Structure 1
Amino acid sequence: MLSVYVDLGLGLVLSFLLLSLLVSGLNEAFVRLLAIRSKFLWAYLRDTMDGSDAEGRSWLPARARDVFGALPFARDARPVHSDQPAPVETAELPVSETKAEDVMTKLLYERVREIDHPKTGRTSIADIPPGRFAGAMMEMAAADPGSVDGLLEKLRTMGSPLHGHLKGVWESAQRDLDRFRQGVETWFDAEMQRLSMLYRRYVKWVVAVLGLLVTLLFTMDGLEYAKTLLRDNAFRASVAAVAEAGPDAYTELKTRCEQSDPVPCITDTLSQPALVKVFDHAIVSLSIPEEGDPAIHWNGATWWDRLTTPSHWPGYLLTYVALLFGAPFWWDLFRRITGIRSRR
């Protein structure tokens, strides 16, 4: 009896793992296609180093709808890509009190563009190592005759939000350049961690939407699938009983295969486990015959009837909630059940 529950749990975990991986793959494809990580990073950098845009709006959107709506399509905060190496000398900051448009962001890109990938259009940098950022700040400070104090003064006259952060680090370092560099590196690392947490919070909304779409498109009824697993296990047990007890245990097989030859029926049933059958309810299904090429079938009418059947809705809800846990959770659970050890 214990093996039945183990098979049931393993089957459910594996199905949720596969669907969660599909959701994660769709989300990753969406993020990479629209370069959201890179745009998110440079929107934060523009807010931190140069402040709001000419209209007084923050570059980094405040809501998830803006991050995955306006940011990918309407407000690209990334600098223009350049395949030239960083200049030997850093350009001087403007002296006037009027804010130069995105001058600090452009200067930062000049110092880090060696890590940019070759492409046309805008930069694809989605991660700046804290050490590289601190080095860029030191290079900017070295370009000014007054070193760090001169850099801070010009940042103040420009109205850059970066002035307050660097001034605090400079005072904490007691005006020591080496400690200042380490302090900038530590500060930027903490900022990147905070930004990553903010980004993951926004991504959860996208994963929730994708999880709902995957559940509905595959019409994955978790409760029905659990029942199918139990029936599949019982059928396999009946096949084993026929082999051991002879014709007296033929009742279950006869019920399922009464319309066809038992041997091909048993072979076909055992070769199609419940995990394969459950995906046959998707709006588009794939069949692989014994001979010939695989075929794709449109199941629009059947899918709609199944989707609008209220008895399946509790199972859909179960599947949707399971997908919200994410692929790492189900992989860890699958690893614990099967005894697979992770390599570190």
Structure 2
Amino acid sequence: MLSIYVDLALGLVVSFLLLSLLVSGLNEAFVRLLAIRSKFLWAYLRDTMDGADEKAGSWLPAGVLDVFKALPFVRDPRPRHNALPAPAQPAPVPETGAGDSMINLLYERVREIDHAKRGRTSIADIPPARFAVAVMELATARDGDVEGFLGRLHQIGSPLYGPLKGVWESAQRDLERFTKGVETWFDGEMQRLSMLYRRYVKWVVAVLAAVVTLLFSMDGLEYAKTLLRDNAFRASVTAVADAGPEAYAELRARCAGEDPMACVTETLSTPALVEMMDQALVSLSIPEQGEPSVHWNGGAWWDRVSTPSHWPGFLLTYVALLFGAPFWWDVLRRITGIRARR
């Protein structure tokens, strides 16, 4: 009896894991195609180093809808890609405001790790130590004077002045401690930015999970029932083999007058997960002979989606996908006893 529930749990976990991986794959594809991570980083850096744009406001909008509208399609905060190595002597910070001067100066110091993506930088992560070195290079570009560097930041109205001024005072005007303090500050800012990025990604995953659930019309309750029915069918087949011809009548009733051997073979070779995937908007069938074929199930799919009795199952699947692939992989490891490599 326990094996029935184990089979049921494994079937549900595997199906949720596969669909969660599909959701994660779609999300990653969109992120890479639209360079969201890189845009997110440089939007933050523009707000931090050059300040908000006078016409369009902050480069990194606060609202979820504004972020989805601006970063992927409307505004590209990334600097233009430059294949040349950084000059040995960094350019000094101008003494008057010059638009996006600070972001260009920073990119000049870190562009060795860059490669082009549609004419823009593809840098999506700047190590804190590298950022601290870049700041020190900019600070010592003119007479090696950090005080003068901070004064120029204040003069051009850069929001970077406040944090660096605090780090400089905390370091008691010691260059080594100042570099370490900048690294620590930027590391904390990147952690905060990562948390903000994950918060926005959750909305994308929620939308993709709903799309995948509806496209596959994956009714979690119906799938669980199909798993139990398959388990009972395997038990009846085993009973025929063990009990002999007297158990043949039940198997014949299940096969509805068809050839029992062909019926058993077809049923056991089509597990519950494959049956549920056949309910998708587009399904793939692989016959015993011949080429695989793709079928459009628009009518049957719409009947399932528009039937209220399936909605609780759809909701169950949708909530399960929100937990994500790592969660279901961990559950699968716990059930099967698979140990993770350390």
TM (norm. structure 2) is 0.98
Contact preservation (8 Å) 1:39, 1:78: yes
**Which position in structure 2 is the counterpart of 1:227?**
225
Q: Which of residues 107, 110, 125 in structure 2 aligns to 1:109?
A: 107
Q: Which of residues 274, 280, 283 in structure 1 aligns to 2:281?
A: 283
Letter paired with 1:341:
R
**Which position in structure 2 is the counterpart of 1:272?**
270
Offset of 1:61 from its aligned partner?
Answer: 1.4
The answer as to 2:37 corresponding to 1:37 is yes
Work out the CA distance in 2 between the residues paired with 1:255 and 1:66: 60
Offset of 1:119 from its aligned partner?
Answer: 4.2
Work out the CA distance in 2 between the residues paired with 1:242 and 1:327: 40
Larger displacement relative to structure 2 (254-263 or 332-341): 254-263
Letter paired with 2:128:
P
Work out the CA distance in 1 between the residues paired with 2:249 and 2:184: 72
Q: Percent identity of the aligned residues? A: 74
Letter paired with 2:65:
R
**1:307-318 matched pairs, under 5 angstroms:** 307-318=305-316
Work out the CA distance in 2 between the residues paired with 1:162 and 1:297: 58
Q: Which of residues 158, 167, 170 in structure 2 aligns to 1:169?
A: 167
Offset of 1:250 from its aligned partner?
Answer: 1.9
Letter paired with 1:79:
P
Q: Secondary structure at the match of 2:59?
A: coil
The answer as to 2:18 corresponding to 1:18 is yes
Contact preservation (8 Å) 2:252, 2:258: no
**1:234-313 matched pairs, under 5 angstroms:** 234-313=232-311
Check 1:217–1:60 CA distance in 2 against 1; reply closer, same or farther (3 A cut).
same
**Which position in structure 1 is the counterpart of 2:150?**
152
Work out the CA distance in 2 between the residues paired with 1:141 and 1:118: 28
Work out the CA distance in 2 between the residues paired with 1:44 and 1:51: 9
Work out the CA distance in 2 between the residues paired with 1:239 and 1:148: 82
Q: Which runs of 4+ in 1 moved over 3 A?
A: none
Letter paired with 2:294:
I
Offset of 1:56 from its aligned partner?
Answer: 5.9
Contact preservation (8 Å) 1:253, 1:262: yes
Q: Secondary structure at the match of 2:261?
A: helix
> 1:152-203, CA deviations, whole angstroms, 9 ceiling, x for partnerless residues?
0000001000000001111111111111111111110110000000000000
Q: Secondary structure at the match of 2:120?
A: coil
Q: Which of residues 195, 204, 208 in structure 2 aligns to 1:197?
A: 195
> 1:214-244, CA deviations, whole angstroms, 9 ceiling, x for partnerless residues?
1111110000000000000000011111111
**RMSD of aligned residue pairs (Cα, Å):** 1.0
Offset of 1:46 from its aligned partner?
Answer: 0.2
Offset of 1:100 from its aligned partner?
Answer: 1.2
Offset of 1:118 from its aligned partner?
Answer: 4.0
TM (norm. structure 1) is 0.98
Contact preservation (8 Å) 2:132, 2:180: yes
Unpaired segments of 5 or more residues in structure 1? none
Aligned residues: 342
> 1:40-61, CA deviations, whole angstroms, 9 ceiling, x for partnerless residues?
0000000000001132600001
**Which position in structure 1 is the counterpart of 2:213?**
215
Contact preservation (8 Å) 1:235, 1:252: no
Q: Secondary structure at the match of 2:115?
A: coil
